[in-house]
Structure 1
Amino acid sequence: MIYYKDEKIIIRDICSEDAINLFICRIDREINLHDPRPLPHTSKELLAECRDYCNTFDKEVMNEVIEERKYKYFIITNNTGDFIGFVNLFGIDKAKKQGEMGIIIGDKRYWRRGVAYTALKLVIKYIFENMDIDRIYIETGETNEPALKLFDKLDFKQCGEYIEDENFRFIVMEKCRSELIV
């Protein structure tokens, strides 16, 4: 399914072939600069990370039973179909009607070009109009200024913070359906 298309980008549903690009984003040090998750340093660690990622991808992202999927991905490509990045919704709590959002622009040639803003704006609109979600939130490191500025520009409000691993401070921001201007 194509969610959006213009002269610059396409936002489409995920497919099995996206696993490679998503994994590349997962292990790229520059992309993950503000993520406290340890990245693989050896071939053994890389192989274990790849194995774990592929299992998660098959069971929680591309599961044939849609109700068992734990992630909703919106893949961003250019008009020739080349991968740019993705927006995802995960940790969906159906009872609370909320989920956590993430975005990665994996093709660094598209950094600081407005692609993330455009994609997020469209995906947020889609989620609130088509999914039973009333609240979207993000959690990002306090040093991740690009993400904090981006989500602030999209009218996300800071609603909390917490510390992980004794020295990594996360900022929590949210946007609620009720705050949308009709």
Structure 2
Amino acid sequence: MIYYEDDSIKIRDLLNEDVINLFSCRIDRELNLHDPRPIPNTSKELLNECKDYCNRFDTEIMNENTEDRKYKYFIITNKDNNFIGFVNFFSINKEKKQGEMGVTIGDKRYFRKGIAYTAINAVVKFIFENMDINRIYIETGETNKAALGLFDKLGFKKRGEYLEDDNFKFIIIEKLRSLESYN
């Protein structure tokens, strides 16, 4: 399914072959600068991370039973269908009608070109219009000024913060579904 398309980008459903690009984003130090999760440093750590990620990809992301999927990926490509990045929606709680969102522009040539803004805007619209979701939230590190500024421009509001065990401070921001806009 195509969720959005203009002259420069397309946002489409996830395909099995996207696993390589998603994993590359996962282990890229620059892309994960504001994430406390450790990045593999040795070939053994890299191999273990790859095996773990591929297993989760098959069971939690591309599972044939859509009820068992724990993530929804919206893949961003350029007009030639080359991978740029993704928006993901996860930790979906159907009872609370909420889920967490993330965005990654994996192709650094597309940094600061408005693509994340366009993609998030399109995905938020899709989620609120097509899923039974009333709240989308983001948790990001307090030092991730680019993400905090981006989501602020998109109408997300700060709702709290918390510390991880290693004193990594997360900021929680959210956007609520405007019930009159999406009925």
Could you say which TM-score interval applies, normalised by the shorter chain?
over 0.9
SS of 2:101's partner is strand
Between the aligned partners of 1:113 and 1:180, the Cα distance in structure 2 is: 32
Residues 88-139 of structure 1 show CA distances to partners (whole Å, capped at 9, x for unaligned) of 0000000000000000000000000000000000000000000011100000
Q: Which amino acid in 2 is paired with 1:142?
A: E
Residue 84 (structure 1) aligns with = 84
Residue 55 (structure 2) aligns with = 55
Between the aligned partners of 1:133 and 1:181, the Cα distance in structure 2 is: 13
Between the aligned partners of 2:179 and 2:40, the Cα distance in structure 1 is: 40
SS of 2:102's partner is strand
Between the aligned partners of 2:28 and 2:179, the Cα distance in structure 1 is: 35
Residue 143 (structure 1) aligns with = 143
Matches within 5 A, 1:1-182: 1-178=1-178
Between the aligned partners of 1:64 and 1:134, the Cα distance in structure 2 is: 26
Between the aligned partners of 1:56 and 1:181, the Cα distance in structure 2 is: 36
Between the aligned partners of 2:122 and 2:38, the Cα distance in structure 1 is: 31
SS of 2:41's partner is coil
Residue identity over aligned pairs, in percent, reads 70
Q: CA separation of 1:52/1:19 partners in 2, compared to 1, >3 Å: closer, same or farther? A: same
Q: Cα offset for 1:167?
A: 1.6
Between the aligned partners of 1:143 and 1:165, the Cα distance in structure 2 is: 17
Q: Cα offset for 1:178?
A: 2.5
Between the aligned partners of 1:98 and 1:41, the Cα distance in structure 2 is: 35
Between the aligned partners of 1:167 and 1:129, the Cα distance in structure 2 is: 37
Q: Which amino acid in 2 is paired with 1:48?
A: N
TM-score for the superposition, normalised by structure 2: 0.97
Between the aligned partners of 1:24 and 1:32, the Cα distance in structure 2 is: 11
Between the aligned partners of 1:9 and 1:101, the Cα distance in structure 2 is: 20
Q: Cα offset for 1:181?
A: 5.4
Between the aligned partners of 1:159 and 1:76, the Cα distance in structure 2 is: 28
Q: Cα offset for 1:179?
A: 7.1
Q: Cα offset for 1:180?
A: 7.3
Between the aligned partners of 1:46 and 1:153, the Cα distance in structure 2 is: 36
Q: Which amino acid in 2 is paired with 1:111?
A: F
SS of 2:123's partner is helix
Between the aligned partners of 2:60 and 2:129, the Cα distance in structure 1 is: 24
Extract structure 1 runs of 4+ deviating beyond 3 A.
Answer: 179-182
SS of 2:178's partner is helix
Q: Which amino acid in 1 is paired with 2:29?
A: R
Q: Which amino acid in 1 is paired with 2:154?
A: L
Structure 2 unmatched runs, 5+: none
TM-score for the superposition, normalised by structure 1: 0.98
User: How large is the Cα RMSD of the aligned pairs?
Assistant: 1.1
